[in-house]
Amino acid sequence: MVEGPLHGYHHETYVVRLPRAAAGAEQVRWKCREPRPGLLWFDRRCFASEEQLLRALAGRIEGIPDLVPELAGTATPGLQRFIEGSTLGTLYGSGGEIPFALFGQIVSLFEQLARVKANSLDVGRTCKSADRPAEGDTTGFLERLILFTERDVYQRNMHDFKVLFYGLGLDGDSFGKLRGHVSGLTARPFCLLHADLHRENFVVDAKARLWTIDWELAMFGDPLYDLATHLYLMRYPAEQERRMTEQWCDAVESVTPGSSAGWEADLPKLLAYKRAQSVFTDVIRTALSLEEGRRTADGSPLVEAGDRIRKVLDAAAEPLEIAVPAPESVTAALADWLDERLRCP
């Protein structure tokens, strides 16, 4: 009667239908998750427990998973309700337009997030107070994101990926160049951010209600960063991206004036950071996928992996100030890295 493990990078997830007495009046399915051991983390984290955060947001944010009633208010992490339905990605693939009714619910979510301020939420934090940017310090907020990518993604994995990084022209100078491209942000009042609003984290139920799942990357910070991450991950058609930006501005300004200040100049900078961040994330993940046995005798997975890496390098060439290697050079860098891994398991 247990389903799983379900597909997911960060957790091993199982779904179970509890007896009615434990599940409440309505018998529904619940999910239990355990972090996968030995994972590489590519994003900065803020909250100690996703379940604690969901508990605190109940009644303040619509369309989020609730918890098993008997466990609410205890130290037990608890079980999240499994949201029945289909993800936006399943219904409307990357690059496709989102129907008006669902689009409006995403805008409403941004408005609700803008209402949640750091001093209004009593939830355990993983970051120390000294490591949190001052209220409205958008430059300090972005610097901490860049520093995480530099220190915890690039430098921490240098031992295992040095041959590949250097073969692709990615060195420590890249981050200094990135900082130069994204400097000088406008101050904006902070609020709660989901920080991972893509099509697979939205679930549409049978009544066409939109649910938002996977809150583990949530944080307090610059509201424009949440929009930038959303636009980058959603891949809206151009006209719908323009409408989302326009309606997002109206939504957050209606809650806290100044929340969209300077967006015209700052949104391109935050999108540039997202493109640069993806280089290090995608290079590592793509390389590891090859190591896991997807390379065949004709070398085609190696070529396909090279094509994926060249695309992310090309997208981030300007903020990182890198020369994108030729396709055969990218493939050669991957092959050299694989050979080194075989020699030094």
pLDDT of residue 17: 79
Q: What is the mean pLDDT of residues 250-274?
A: 98
Residue 159: strand, helix, or coil: helix
Residues across the chain: 345
pLDDT of residue 112: 98
Residue 56 has pLDDT above 60, yes or no: yes
H helices of the chain, in order, are 20-23, 50-57, 88-91, 100-114, 138-148, 158-167, 173-182, 223-234, 238-255, 263-289, 300-315, 317-320, 327-343
In tens, the pLDDT along 196-229 reads 999 999 999 999 999 999 999 999 999 999 999 9
pLDDT of residue 20: 57
Strands 202-204 and 86-87: antiparallel
pLDDT of residue 293: 65
pLDDT of residue 23: 47
Q: What is the mean pLDDT of residues 318-329?
A: 95
pLDDT of residue 249: 98
Of residues 133 and 130, the one with the higher pLDDT is 133
Residue 95: strand, helix, or coil: coil
Residue 165 has pLDDT above 70, yes or no: yes
H helices of 41-137, in order, are 50-57, 88-91, 100-114
pLDDT of residue 44: 85
pLDDT of residue 96: 95
* 136-139, Cβ contacts within 8 angstroms, sequence gap of 24 or more: 136/187, 136/188, 136/189, 136/190, 137/187, 138/185, 138/186, 138/187, 138/188, 138/221, 138/222, 138/224, 138/266, 139/183, 139/184, 139/185
Structure tokens at 292: 């896991």
Is the bond preceding 5 in cis, omega lying within 30 degrees of 0? yes
List the Cα angle 275/202/21 in 5-degree steps.
Answer: 140
Q: What percent of the chain has pLDDT over 90?
A: 68
pLDDT of residue 196: 96
Domains of the chain with bracketed CATH: 42-74+84-135+192-261 (1.10.510), 138-186+264-345 (no CATH)
The CA distance from 80 to 303, in Å, is 41
Residue 32 has pLDDT above 60, yes or no: yes
Residue 321 has pLDDT above 70, yes or no: yes
pLDDT class of 73 with cuts at 50, 70, 90:
low
pLDDT class of 299 with cuts at 50, 70, 90:
low
pTM of the model: 0.90
* Among 45-54, 273-282, 324-333, the least confident range: 45-54
pLDDT of residue 296: 45
The CA distance from 227 to 252, in Å, is 11
Of residues 26 and 334, the one with the higher pLDDT is 334
In tens, the pLDDT along 86-130 reads 999 999 999 999 999 999 999 999 999 999 999 999 899 988 887
In tens, the pLDDT along 172-203 reads 899 999 999 999 999 999 999 999 999 999 99
Strands 80-81 and 29-35: antiparallel
Residue 161 has pLDDT above 90, yes or no: yes
pLDDT class of 34 with cuts at 50, 70, 90:
confident
Please list, in sequence order, all residues whose beta carbon lies within 8 angstroms of the beta carbon of residue 67, skipping any fewer than 6 positions away: 51, 54, 55, 78, 79, 80, 81
Structure tokens at 108: 């409403």
Residue 297 has pLDDT above 50, yes or no: no
pLDDT of residue 228: 98
The CA distance from 276 to 74, in Å, is 41
Going 172 to 282 to 162 to 332, the CA torsion angle's sign is: negative
